[in-house]
Every structure is written in structure tokens, then in C-alpha cells.
């Protein structure tokens, strides 16, 4: 006779997301995509929404505070080779803006 009886527990990923955000294990811009079980672990695949507030213009070799403008065309970098900043660059951009007082008033 089997020692254990199997039981299935299902939890909607959006509910699990809410719980993880309340526990501060997920940030507001992160979302669960997938989950699977490995020995003694629940493995969650998390997607991060790409931050679109800052870009790096590769042609001009400069960071651009995109959030200050209505559109890319307003920045003067439309048609340039640009990319969204990495998480590390984002932290630096925010630090620079805080030091410059961009977020005040």
C-alpha cells in the first residue's frame, strides 16, 4: 500500500504573482511567465517589462531621458541607431537624474 496519496493543487499564476509582489519577491514591472518543478524547488520564469524611459543613442554616444519628451522625434534622435538602456545603465541614469534634480517639482 502506498505511503502517500497524491493531491493536486492549482494556483492561477496571476494570484501567485500578487502573492509574490506582496512578499516583495517580484517587482511591479515583473510578471510570471512559466513555472515548473525541479527536485525540491519550484522554478518560476519571470519576464521583466523593458524600461522605456531611457535610451542610449549609439550614433551620438549619449543617454537620453526619453520620459522628458512627447516622442522620439522630439529628442532629436529619430532615425539614429539607438537602444533601450540595460538594467545597470538604468540605475546609473536614475542616479544621475536624482543628482541633477530632474525629479524635483
pLDDT tens readout for residues 16-68: 889 999 999 988 778 888 888 999 998 998 887 777 889 999 999 999 999 89
Cα angle value 19/25/26 (rounded, 5°): 80
Q: Are residues 61 and 89 in the same domain?
A: yes
Number of structural domains found in the chain: 2
Any domain includes 2: no
Any domain includes 8: no
Cβ contact 67:45 at 8 Å: no
Any domain includes 30: yes
pLDDT tens for 74-99 read: 999 999 999 989 888 888 888 888 88
Q: Are residues 59 and 91 in the same domain?
A: yes
Any domain includes 6: no
Domain containing 63: what range? 54-100
Amino acid at each position: 500500500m502506498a505511503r502517500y496519496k497524491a493531491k493536486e493543487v492549482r494556483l492561477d499564476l496571476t494570484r501567485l504573482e500578487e502573492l509574490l509582489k506582496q512578499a516583495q519577491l517580484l517587482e511591479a514591472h515583473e510578471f510570471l511567465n512559466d513555472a515548473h518543478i525541479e527536485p525540491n524547488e519550484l522554478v518560476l520564469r519571470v519576464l521583466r517589462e523593458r524600461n522605456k524611459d531611457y535610451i542610449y543613442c549609439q550614433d551620438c554616444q549619449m543617454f537620453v531621458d526619453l520620459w522628458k519628451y512627447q516622442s522620439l522625434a522630439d529628442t532629436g534622435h529619430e532615425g539614429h541607431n539607438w537602444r533601450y538602456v540595460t538594467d545597470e545603465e538604468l540605475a546609473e541614469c536614475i542616479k544621475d537624474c536624482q543628482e541633477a534634480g530632474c525629479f524635483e517639482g
